[in-house]
Each structure stands twice: as structure tokens, then as C-alpha cells.
Amino acid sequence: MDKVLLIICDGLSDRPITELGGKTPLEAAKTPNLDRLVKRGLTGLMHVVDIGIRPGSDVAHLSLFGYDPNLYYSGRGPFEAVGIGMEIKPNDVALRGNFATVDSAFRIIDRRAGRIEHTFPLTRALNDMLIEDTKVYVSVGTGHRAAVILRGKNLNGRISDVDPHKEGVKVRSAYALVKTASAKKTAKIINQFVRRSYQILSAHPLNKKREKEGKLPGNIILLRGAGILPKLPTFLEKYSLKAACIAGGGLYKGIGRLLGMDTIEVPQATGKPDTNIKAKIEAALKTFKTHDFVFVHIKGADVLAEDGDFLGKKKFIEKIDAALSPLVKREDILIVITADHTTSSILKIHTADPVPLLMAGKNLHTDQVTLFGERSVASGKLGHIVGKHLMPIILDFLGRAPLMGA
Amino acid sequence: MDKVLLIICDGLSDRPITELGGKTPLEAAKTPNLDRLVKRGLTGLMHVVDIGIRPGSDVAHLSLFGYDPNLYYSGRGPFEAVGIGMEIKPNDVALRGNFATVDSAFRIIDRRAGRIEHTFPLTRALNDMLIEDTKVYVSVGTGHRAAVILRGKNLNGRISDVDPHKEGVKVRSAYALVKTASAKKTAKIINQFVRRSYQILSAHPLNKKREKEGKLPGNIILLRGAGILPKLPTFLEKYSLKAACIAGGGLYKGIGRLLGMDTIEVPQATGKPDTNIKAKIEAALKTFKTHDFVFVHIKGADVLAEDGDFLGKKKFIEKIDAALSPLVKREDILIVITADHTTSSILKIHTADPVPLLMAGKNLHTDQVTLFGERSVASGKLGHIVGKHLMPIILDFLGRAPLMGA
């Protein structure tokens, strides 16, 4: 056993829901394959960052890959930018953004411009701008999303969001979160960029066409998540494992790339509930010909829970389970299945509840747990761990952990 | 209840083994005495250093005695040297070594010189050498083992191993692991010593005699595990417990001495599977007339697992169990039985799997666990602890823990 398949089901776990008879979507779903893996594996609960800490998906992934987010996280922008294929350099400030609709007083009508898509002409119109001494690069994300990179002297990532995260209010001015000249300069450039984006976009032919068709124009770019990318040791450097990443969403590809993982493109992987999970698992199994460690990210459950759709989440979990059938008897691979965080379908937010963790391999301890659920795994042999323990345990199960002492 | 008997069964725990019906050697062994102690005690799993950390025996013992290895561990040499009775002074660099066989090109033929024994004449020939301003002391260990102390000005323990840990390759040159003049000087002295050991040993009458008899000569001393001994508070200073150590292996006696424990010699304790465990337990019980805390170390299970002999390990565990019969009803002593680390009989290495822990005394909580095994104790009342928690729990069970606050 010298290969690892780590499947992160984003927002898999949940809280009990009255309409599901007091069960969570994971507990209510029929998951025969997960349960078979549990029977020949060992289980526990993982606090992905720490007990009581409610993580975003970016911070959660860093933590469970063993990269302390207190050292390595400085805003989501850089991860999104890398995820959509932008080249980022040391000291670049990166932000993520939405194409949105505002009125002439900068009041937000729609944060997603009617879920505008195919925004390449808009990003091209904004790309490669010079503000003071700083170059601004803009690149298209999925749907209404984009990423922005600022490249210049003395920039700082500690800047507030322009995006107020709600509609009916005015666009905010970015301001420095630390009292340094570099932060003040960066905030000023961001504010200038946002104003110029409105001037350019509101006159853009694509938006004129959308307005004629009765659609909302993407007439501004709302920025958030500013950060400077830290220097991250690669997965290979840290764990001596040749790793690959299979994901639909840009953030997860971005994290994979930043950790030096090879990105395996699976065209049917959409990062949405319609994704083809079977195709991702098949691609993962093929990838073991060349790689030691494959990270598969499955987004759907989180999206559905954030929409409050617990029935859809239950069905999506059953879809995940069906895709796992090729794994049930694979003893040559260490199979690790868990979540990056809990997403409550009632609260429609991430919560800090620990996530269930399942590890199945050859000649490992099993435990008495027979079902994969938030409550059932609480008596598993792994007990309660925190995210930073996951990779050391994986290395140890492979017989590849470093020895401390002699 | 004011006495503590701590029995460390080195490498006691293991992973499931197909040939044992998916049980570990501990689970497969018939252990009626351990099970009786479990029934009147409480249990849990202990991560001896931390979750996912794979410890050497030296680091593991420091950690479970409450001495943070990050502060107190600097290579195994000093522990071995003290263990075989050498006097070590502050700033001495100590190393452990093997008498080995090399050819004239310093290629290693046998790392243990045909498991040479009775090497006192060889160590005497090397002892008390002067290299530059540094005195070199050599003392005989068990079997092919020896320890070396360097005493001089400006020495440093951060030196690489001369021993390449495999055969068919050349002896390595020691080099400085830190860029200081003291480390460079120390490496140079070690390399000179190793060369001179070859000159002296290859001409030694004992080796000439071995060669005539067709035996491999111990014609070089391969050094490893350099370190300078840190200042350790004694067990008495730290815990107000008068402690004694009963062990066969030099390392464990060394750790006991370094912590200020009195070493109780039990002639039948060999540090090998043929050791007389009954004699050690009897000696321990006698020692309570004068001491509060007795540490008994039993090495055999680890040795057998490192040889892949899981059936031998199972039998050895049954031998341990048989020796415990005098303890089953002793409520006047807090009996603590655990391991320093897991040793996998399949991988033949230490692993980071937590070790089972059993504590039995008077008027303590019991739990529902009835068998002593890696999986059975996972639901015990002690839960998952790390090594640094063991001594505080022991002190508290005695009613002797310090009060924090008022």
C-alpha cells in the first residue's frame, strides 16, 4: 500500500434536520459503498482547523494538507487567481471579484449581474491597465467571477473588501487594514481601478447589448479577498509524495497548483451538483500510474447546503456514494474520505462541527463503526483529530513517516 | 495508594496481521492477567509524542516521562553512554557505535562484525586517545555495541553519522550539521578517531585470532547518534517521587540514570526475548520498600516485531502476562502498563499508531473495557492522551498533583 486517494467532499457534513427525521443529509442518505469502506476501515472526527473554528474552504484545505493557515493564508484572492490559471509573482496583490450591476450612484442592484456568463470581452477591456506605477491584470473566472492581480512596488494585501456582500447598498471604498504607506497606496489603486471599471464597462458593447435584451449589465467589478501569496513548500518537498489534483472549482485547482500538484483535467467535472463524479474517480485511479497521491475535490454538497437544499444534498451524497463503487475492494490504495468543513443546510453557512473521517487500507486497525455519519464515527478509533494531524497519520499508515529520535 | 509501578512494554502494540485472523499480536495473545487488570482499571490510547509522530525509543521514553523531547533530546549517544555506565560531563559529545567489519577501502562487509561479543579488549585499545586537544573515551556496550565520549573545548553534537546504516557501501565521513567552528572541529575529530580505530583494530590480536578462526574482525567502530547531554531535572525534582529503574537494555538504564532514578540490577534481565520478566516484577515489588515509583522496561516485543516475528511477539506477550500475576490483586499500587510506541511486524518499523494504556489502582474510575488491545481500549475512559499527559494523570491518581489556582 503506497498510494493515497484523498477525497474531500466539500461541506459534506451537516446538522440534524427535522424534515429528515432528525438525521443529517449524510445520515439520511443511503450510502452502501461508504458503509462498506467504513466496515473495513477506521474512523473519527476531524476539526479541520481547530475545535470551534469555522473555516472557509481555502483555509480548510490548507489546514488539512498540513499548511498552517496562520502562516500560509493571507486572503482568498491569490488562490482564486492561480486557480483560473493566472501567473502570480512574489509581492503581487491578488483579489477575487464579481461582475455586478450598479446604478449611477454606485448602489448595487445585483451582486452577480443576473449571473452573467462568458465575460471574456469584459475582462479583456479591463486587463493590462496602468494605475500610477502599478499594472493591473484581470482574468475571467467561472460564471460572473473574475480575478485581479496588482503588480507594482510597495503593495500590501491587508486591504478591506470593496464588495459589501449585499445588495441595495453602495459599493464600499477599499481601505488599508494596517497603517502602512504600502497598504494605503494599494487601497487607493484598488479604488481607482473599481471606478475605472465602471467607466469602461458601462460603455462596453456587450453590456449595451445585454441592456437591449432586458438583461442586467456587468458594469462594475466588485473586489474582495485581497492577499499576497506566501511562499509555500510543495507537497513533494514536504511529504515526498508526487501529487495530483482533480477538481472542478477554480479555488481547489488553485490550491493544488500552489502546492505543486499536477492538475488533471476531467472535462465533466464542473464544480457544481451536475458534475460527473464517476469520471473523476476513474481519472484518479488512472493517475496512480504516475502519481503517489491524488486529491479529488467534490463541491456539490456544499453548494446545495448553502442554498438550504438538504434534500438535494442528500441525493448528491447518494451520487457520490454510487461513484465510489470501484474503490470498495481496493486494498492497494489508502482511501481517505472526509470533508473540508460542515455546511448547515438550515443556517446556510459553514459551521465548526468536526467532519467525519474515514480511512481504509491494508493491515490497518478497523473499529466497530459500521455507518459513515457525523455521529456514528464519534466512537471510531481515530478519535478526535485536528487537520494538521491528517497528513502525518497518512504518512504513518504508508510506513513513510519520519522517525523522531532513534 | 502511594506507589506507582510503570511497566513499559517496548513495541507492544502492532497492526492487524492477516495470519492472526486480522488481529494484532496483543489481541491474539491470551492475556488473562492483563484482562483482569483492565476490568478493575481504566484504559485509553496514548500518542506517545503526538498524533502522527513516529518516535524512536529514546524520544518516546523522554516524552512519556514528561520531558519534552523538543527540549531535551539531542541524539541518542548520550543516553547509550550513560546506560552502559560511562560518566558524562556537561559539553561532552557522546556517540553510540558498532564494532563492524570493513575492507581496506573502508567498504562495509558486516555492520556488526559477525555479531562480535566480549569486545572489552578492543575498547581498551581505543580508550583514552588524545586527538588534537580532545580526549576520547570508549566503553563496551552489549554485544557488538560501544559508546564513545569526546571531551574537549568547543565541541558540538550536531554531527552526521559515520555509520551509513547499510552494508556494501563505504564508511561515511562525519560532517557538521550546523555551520559553526565547533561542529566542524568535532566532525574532524570523529573522522580522525574512526581512521585510527581501523589502524589499531585491524592489527589487534583479538581480531587476528578471529580471522584465523574464520570469523569477521571488529576492525572499525562505526559511530552514530552524536549529541550533547542536556541538563535534565531529576524525577525527584520534577515529581517529588523517589524512583527506580529496572531494565535490561543500556538505553533504558541510561534514561533512568539521567532522570536520577536508582538502577536496580536484575541479573536475569537481558533486554532480549529470553529475559526473566517474573524476576523483574518481583524485584520491582521489593523496591517499593524504599522507592515510590518503579519503572520496569521490557524490550522483547519490539525486538521480535522488528524481526517480523509476529508469532514470537504473541508468545512473548503471553510471557509478559504470566509474569503479571502477582499484580492482579495489588490495590495498594497504581499499576500503569503501556508501550513506548507501536512496532509493526509487517513493516518491521516503529509506527505512530497510538499505544494502549491501562491504569489500575484503588478508588479510580473503571470503564466498560474488558480486554487489553489496540482497538478495545479506544473506547476507554482515558480517551486519547498524548505522552506529556501521563505523569500528570499518575500524580493526580495518587492525590499528589499540584493545584493550579486556589
- Say if CB A123 and CB A146 are below 8 A apart: yes
Is A381's Cβ below 8 Å from some Cβ in B?
Answer: yes
pLDDT of residue A1: 87
Has residue A318 got a pLDDT over 90?
yes
User: Quick one: average pLDDT of A387-394?
Assistant: 98
Of the candidates B16, B51, B383, the beta carbon closest to that of A385 is on: B51
Residues from chain A contacting residue B18 (CB–CB below 8 Å): 363
> Which of the four pLDDT bands, split at 50, 70 and 90, describes residue A16?
very high
What does pLDDT average to over chain A?
95
Here the contacts of A278-282 (C-beta below 8 Å, separation 24 or greater) are A278/A322, A278/A323, A280/A246, A280/A323, A281/A323, A281/A324, A281/A326, A281/A327, A282/A326
Q: Could you tell me the sign of the dihedral formed by the alpha carbons of A150, A154, A160, A162, in that order?
A: negative
Cβ of B52 within 8 Å of Cβ of A391? The answer is yes
Would the pLDDT of A25 be above 90? yes
pLDDT at residue B255, rounded to an integer: 92
- Report the gap between the CA of B284 and the closest CA in chain A (Å): 27
pLDDT in tens, B52-66: 999 999 999 999 999
Residue B227's closest chain A neighbor by CA?
A405
Cα–Cα–Cα angle for B154, B136, B260, rounded to 5 degrees: 80
Q: Is A59 left (phi over 0), alpha (psi -120 to 50) or beta?
A: alpha
Beta strands in A180-265 (DSSP E): 220-228, 243-246, 262-263
Which of A99-108, A244-253, B143-152, B313-322 is predicted least confidently?
Answer: A244-253
Q: B163 at the A interface (CB within 8 A)?
A: no
Q: pLDDT tens digits, residue range B313-357?
A: 999 999 999 999 999 999 999 999 999 999 999 999 999 999 999
Give me the residues of B, 223-262, that contact A with CB < 8 A. 224-225
Interval A363-389 mean pLDDT: 96
Q: Which of A365, A379, A396 sits opposite B54 (nearest CB)?
A: A396
User: Does B8 have pLDDT greater than 90?
Assistant: yes
Taking all residues of chain B, what is their mean pLDDT, rounded to a whole number? 95
* pLDDT number for residue B76: 87
pLDDT, tens digit, for every residue of A122-160? 999 999 999 999 999 999 988 899 999 999 999 999 999
Q: Does residue B258 contact residue B233 with C-beta atoms inside 8 Å?
A: no
B58, A405 in Cβ contact below 8 A?
A: yes
| pLDDT value of residue A103 | 96
pLDDT at B79: 86
Contacts of A364 in chain B (CB under 8 A): 15-16
- Residue A85 has what pLDDT? 85
Q: What percentage of chain B carries pLDDT values higher than 70?
A: 100
Q: Looking at residue B59, what is its pLDDT?
A: 95
- Total Cβ atoms within 10 A of residue B27: 24
* Spatial contact of B143 and B115, defined as CB atoms under 8 Å apart: yes
R_g of chain B, CA atoms, integer Å: 22
Secondary structure (3-state) at B120: helix
Instruction: Report the pLDDT value the prediction gives residue A269, as an integer from 0 to 100.
Output: 82
pLDDT at B208: 96
Task: List chain B residues with CB under 8 Å of A370.
Answer: none
The 10s digit of each residue's pLDDT in A297-308 is 999 999 999 999
pLDDT at A324: 98
For residue B244, the model assigns a pLDDT of 98
Instruction: Check residue A270 and give its pLDDT.
Output: 80
**Is B346's Cβ below 8 Å from some Cβ in A?**
yes
Average pLDDT, integer, range A237-255: 93
Contact B53 A366 (CB under 8 A): no
Among B59, B352, B378, whose Cβ lies nearest the Cβ of A396?
Answer: B352
Which tens digits make up the pLDDT trace of B76-120?
899 889 888 898 998 999 999 999 999 999 999 999 999 999 999
Q: Does position A271 have pLDDT exceeding 80, yes or no?
A: no
- Chain A partners within 8 Å of B56 (Cβ): 403-406
Spatial contact of B159 and B176, defined as CB atoms under 8 Å apart: yes
B377 → chain A, closest CA residue:
A381
**Candidates B353, B368, B386, B389, partner chain A, best to mutate (most A CBs within 10 A):** B353
Q: Using the beta-carbon criterion (under 8 Å), do B16 and A402 form an inter-chain contact?
A: no
**Percentage, residues of chain A above pLDDT 70:** 100
Place of cell 568535532: B186
B60 and chain A: CB distance < 8 Å anywhere? yes
**B352 near A CB under 8 A:** yes
In this predicted structure, which of A41-45, A316-320, B72-76, B282-286 has the lowest mean pLDDT? B72-76
At residue B249, the pLDDT reads 82
Give the residue-averaged pLDDT of B133-142. 94
Helix and strand numbers, DSSP H then E, in chain B? 14, 17
Residues of B in contact with A401 (CB under 8 A): 52-54, 351-352
B355 has which bridge partners?
B46
B84 closest CA partner among B100, B97, B67: B97
Interchain CB contact of B54 with A (< 8 Å):
yes
User: Does the structure show a pLDDT above 90 at A248?
Assistant: no
According to the model, what pLDDT value does residue A82 have?
Answer: 87
Q: Which three three-digit cell numbers place residue B223?
A: 559511530
Are B55 and A404 inside 8 Å of each other by CB?
A: yes
Q: What is the pLDDT of residue B274?
A: 86
The sign of the dihedral angle between the CA atoms of A218, A220, A225, A228 is positive
Sort out which chain A residues have CB atoms less than 8 A from B375's CB and list them: 365-368, 381
Answer yes or no: are the C-beta atoms of B13 and B356 closer than 8 Å: yes
Distance, in Å, from the CA atom of B217 to the CA atom of B198, rounded to the nearest integer, reads: 11
Identify the pLDDT of residue B406: 86
What is the per-residue pLDDT for B135? 97
Q: Does A367 touch chain B (CB under 8 A)?
A: yes
Mean pLDDT of A152-174: 95
Give the residue among A396, A333, A290, A362 at the shortest CA–CA distance from A2.
A333
Please report residues of B whose CB lies closer than 8 A to that of A383.
45, 378, 383-384
Kindly give, in sequence order, each residue whose CB lies less than 8 Å from that of residue A374, ignoring residues fewer than 6 positions away: A13, A14, A24, A26, A27, A45, A342, A353, A355, A356
Nearest residue in A to B344, CA atom: A399
For B19-72, the pLDDT digits (tens) are 999 999 999 999 999 999 999 999 999 999 999 999 999 999 999 999 999 999
Inform me whether the pLDDT recorded for A80 exceeds 90: no
pLDDT in the model for residue B273? 85
- Provide the pLDDT confidence category of residue A250 given band limits of 50, 70 and 90: confident
Which ipTM value was assigned to this complex?
0.85
Q: What letters, b where the CB count within 10 A reaches 16 and e where it falls short, cover B269-290?
A: bebebebbbbebbebbbebbee
